[in-house]
Amino acid sequence: NAGVTQTPKFRILKIGQSMTLQCTQDMNHNYMYWYRQDPGMGLKLIYYSVGAGITDKGEVPNGYNVSRSTTEDFPLRLELAAPSQTSVYFCASSYTRVADTQYFGPGTRLTVL
């Protein structure tokens, strides 16, 4: 199993551009999550999904959108990039909701100039 994969690894955007961060997992996990990690800060939850077709907001959802059309994929969309969205983005998945291990992707480092 590849686990959780994320693309791209790095990206530089100009203010106002849009992009989609891809996340795929091959473990048949129901739960998927998007976090962002700013320098010197912990991970903060952006959006999460408890199954295909179901998504919900986390702590910091503004400026982002997600979709979950399949169990495997959970893309994160930035519509109008802003410098405040410069961060490292992590996707994660877990099988159940009951204190289960979350498996993380390698991260995407995004810079908005």
Q: Which of 27, 63, 65, 104 binds other proteins (CB under 8 A)?
A: 104
What is the rounded CA–CA span in Å between residue 64 and residue 16?
13
Q: Which of 28, 69, 70, 101 binds other proteins (CB under 8 A)?
A: 101
Q: Residues 59-88: x/- map of binding to other proteins (CB under 8 A)?
A: ------------------------------
44: contact with other proteins by CB under 8 A = yes
50: contact with other proteins by CB under 8 A = yes
What is the rounded CA–CA span in Å between residue 82 and residue 72?
28
SS3 81: coil
Structure tokens at 13: 């955007």
**Cα-based angle 73, 74, 76 (whole degrees, multiple of 5):** 140
26: contact with other proteins by CB under 8 A = no
> How distant, in Å, are the alpha carbons of 13, 36, 37, 103, 113 from that of 16?
8, 19, 21, 32, 10
Q: Which of 12, 18, 56, 82 binds other proteins (CB under 8 A)?
A: 56
Instruction: Give the count of residues interacting with other proteins (CB under 8 A).
Output: 29
The distance from CA 42 to its chain's CA centroid, rounded to whole angstroms, is 15
99: contact with other proteins by CB under 8 A = yes
- What residue ranges bind other proteins (CB under 8 A)? 4, 31, 33, 35, 40-45, 48, 50, 56, 58, 90, 92, 94, 96-107
